[in-house]
Amino acid sequence: MNRHQAIALLTASGQPMELIESELYGVPCRRYKNAPQTLRQLFEDNLSELPFIVFAEERYSFQQTWRKASALACALVEDFSIGKGDRVAICMRNYPEWIMAFNAITSIGAIAVALNSLCQADELVYGVTNSGSTLLIADQERANLLSSDIAQPWTTIVVRGDVSQQTDFLQWDTVVAPHAGKPMPAADIAPEDDAIILYTSGSTGHPKGVVSCNLSVISALLSWELELMALVVVKQIEIPVPVYQAAGLAGVPLFHATGCHAVFLASYRAQRKLVLMTKWDATRAAQLIEQERISSFIAPSAMTSDLVYQAAKGGNDLSSLAVVGGGGAARPPEQVKTIDRAFSNAMPNTGWGMTETNAIGTSIAGEDYLDHPASSGRTAPVLNIRIVDEQGAEQPAGKNGEVQVRGTSMFRCYWNNPKATADSHDNGWFKTGDVGYLDDEGFLFIVDRIKDMVIRGGENIGCGEVEAALLEHPLVREAAVYSVPDERLGEEVGATLFCDGTLVEAEALREFLASRIARFKIPRYLHITGSCLPRTGSGKIFKLQIRQEALARLSNSDS
């Protein structure tokens, strides 16, 4: 039996994973008939006394997590008048309160706005104000970014901090404690109601808020389950009786679609214990895998590469790992083989997806992945993918074109940005900006990007945003930012600058940028010139030529 036949069998009428024809946002789609209708139902259906959150010495069961989320939800409703459709922002490291806040917000019909915790002050302020959030739940590090001279027309609740010196802020414990023991407030939530806003970097300017409904998120979660079930059927795998509770390691930030969906939300139906890391450290990760018997690790290629290196050093028992998955950026093909060699029981897998698709799109695992290490896999059952040329004509197998996608896991819109929403769609098809092709077996291969973006270790960095920050420097006349291949991170940020008069020192420029953009966005490679940058015939900066020249310089310097 092949994958197509297995999925047809598993999704047939009367099966738990039955798929039915439907519509979402006026676009034809397929949905899971028996799926939880909302995120709240997902949480309520999977309450147990099994361990759920592990953070340092703290442990919370699924039930305990729900009770704490219920107390916060009561505070949101009773003390802050948060209701259906209201936005509440979360910006913190991977603390238990991130999960509790997300549960509370989405369970009362409000919209959880997950902001990048690696942000600078202006990026944090932009996310809160752009989303229209009336409440921000942040850790102390993020709260410290909000100085008294920054207008804050919202209420800030601080997690794991001291607000004694910030009189306008509220303490998490003070807000939640009066509502301890109260049940989750009643709420009328429909599958098509908005549930989350995740911010994604665009090719220019500020990041865009990607709005998704309950149905879209849950469709992604069940699609991963279905792929695993199909793999079991095709390979005739006998699932052994587990000796330990399934456990995942949350090394990737929860504000990512990968961290939020594939790591956090996917843990509910699997009853998977989730071990939180506030900062990635491969040595500590290996210790936690051994200590907590971690069975699943999903992260971008840079992090899995770190773990492979750590495994080669030895010193920790990593045999509990059953899945080492990818997301956020493509893995170098050689890394696929090293994962298979490094972890005795782990199955390598990856996929292609975007924030706009709720992290699904295609997936590939096991022998298929080893046989097609450059592929991102085959299309999720609730999605359709097509490859089109510049005129919009669908391309045959093996022919490159833009990857376009539609289906049940798709986002509704870019928040408060109808033009960007309209520009990104073609008659119901989302224009991904990725260039790729499908082979005769339906495997997707991503070969390039139309969008002007760098993906550094799974982090999307809009080149336009970095260029805008560089151009704030009084001596920088022109700036072109581009991707530079990097063995560990996939890509690094490079920039070529035309400076007026006195040339600026590279380190001085980096110091200048440190207060304007997140550190991971600061160019690693800087080339500074006293000449105008090359232009195209239409007068635009010729970025393709600039990047090619930069790569040639780097290649010559290495040789």
Task: Give the residue-averaged pLDDT of 269-296.
Answer: 96
Rg from Cα positions in the chain: 23
In which band, very low, low, confident or very high, does the pLDDT at 283 lie, cut at 50, 70 and 90?
very high
pLDDT tens digits, residue range 86-131? 999 999 999 999 999 999 999 999 999 999 998 889 999 999 999 9
Residue 143 lies in a domain: yes
Q: Is residue 52 situated within a structural domain?
A: no
pLDDT at 458: 83
Asked whether residue 204 carries a pLDDT value surpassing 60, the answer given is no
Same domain flag for 257 and 313: yes
Amino acid at 375: S
Whole-number pLDDT of residue 67: 98
**CATH code at position 401:** 3.40.50.12780
Residue 540 pLDDT greater than 80, yes or no: no
If one compares 557 and 489, the residue with the highest pLDDT of the two is 489
Last residue within a domain, chosen from 449, 465, 492: 449
317 and 402 housed in the same domain:
yes
The answer on 245 and 376 residing in a single domain is yes
Please tell me the distance from the alpha carbon of residue 455 to that of residue 465, in angstroms, as a whole number. Answer: 14
Task: Residue 474: give its domain's CATH number.
Answer: 3.30.300.30
Could you tell me if 369 and 415 lie in one domain? yes
pLDDT value for 110:
98
- Distance of alpha carbon 440 from alpha carbon 443, whole angstroms: 8
Q: 95 and 69, same structural domain? A: yes
Residue 44 belongs to some domain of the structure: no
Banded model confidence at residue 203, pLDDT cuts 50, 70, 90: very low
Answer yes or no: is 42 within a domain.
no
Rounded to the nearest 5 percent, the helix, strand and coil shares of the chain are 35, 30, 40
pLDDT at 537: 56
Mean pLDDT for the stretch of residues 3-25 = 96
Residues 242 and 351 in one domain: yes
Beta bridge partners of residue 23, listed in sequence order: 28
Contact 103, 43 (CB under 8 A): yes
Same-domain pairing of 545 and 425: no
Over residues 220-260, the pLDDT tens digits come to: 999 999 999 999 999 888 887 888 999 999 999 999 999 99
CATH number of the domain within which 77 lies: 3.40.50.980
Within this chain, do residues 414 and 520 fall inside the same structural domain, yes or no? no
Q: Are strands 453-456 and 444-449 parallel, antiparallel or unpaired?
A: unpaired
The whole domain housing 396 covers 3-36+216-449
Give the mean pLDDT of 420-430: 95
226 lies in the same domain as 242: yes
Res 447: pLDDT = 80
Domain presence at residue 47: no
Range of weakest confidence among 30-39, 287-296, 445-454, 485-494 = 445-454
> Which is more confidently placed, 304 or 105?
105
* Parallel, antiparallel or unpaired: strands 490-499 and 476-486: antiparallel
> 236 Cβ partners below 8 Å, 6+ apart?
none
Residue 77 has pLDDT above 90, yes or no: yes
Residue 557 has pLDDT above 70, yes or no: yes
Task: Name which of 57-71, 113-127, 331-345 the model is least confident about.
Answer: 331-345
471 and 398 fall within a common domain? no
Let me know whether 286 and 386 are in one domain: yes
Cβ within 8 Å of residue 383, ≥6 positions away: 223, 357, 360, 361, 405, 406, 407, 408, 409, 410
* pLDDT for the residue 319: 92
Domain boundary residue among 388, 417, 449?
A: 449
Percent of the chain scoring above 90 in pLDDT: 69
Domain assignment of residue 49, yes or no: no
Task: Specify whether the CB–CB gap between 303 and 272 falls below 8 A.
Answer: no
Q: Across the chain, which distance is largest between two alpha carbons, in Å? A: 73
Mean pLDDT of 326-340: 69
| Tally of CB atoms within 10 A around 455 | 19
What confidence score (pLDDT) does residue 539 get?
A: 60
Count of beta carbons in the 10 Å neighbourhood of residue 432: 23
Q: How confident is the model at residue 333 (pLDDT cuts 50, 70, 90)?
A: low
Tell me the pLDDT tens digit for each residue of 363-418: 998 888 888 888 999 999 999 999 999 899 999 999 999 999 999 999 999 999 99
Residue (of 171, 179, 157, 147) closest to 92 by Cα position: 157
Q: Indicate whether 57 belongs to any domain.
A: no
Answer yes or no: are the C-beta atoms of 451 and 464 closer than 8 Å.
no
Confidence (pLDDT) at 405: 97
* Residue 241 C-alpha from the chain's centroid: 32
Question: What number is the average pLDDT over the span 455-469?
Answer: 86
Tell me: do 432 and 484 sit in the same domain.
Answer: no
Is residue 48 assigned to a domain? no
**Confidence band, pLDDT 50/70/90 cuts, at residue 201:** low
Output the average pLDDT for the chain: 91
pLDDT band at 202 (very low <50, low <70, confident <90, very high): low
Residue 364 near residue 372 (C-beta atoms within 8 A): yes
Is the model's pLDDT at 314 over the cut of 70?
Answer: yes
- Structural domains of the chain, count: 3
Q: Which of 393, 428, 449 lies at the terminal end of a domain, its last residue?
A: 449
pLDDT on residue 424:
95
| Weakest-pLDDT range from 13-17, 52-56, 333-337 | 333-337
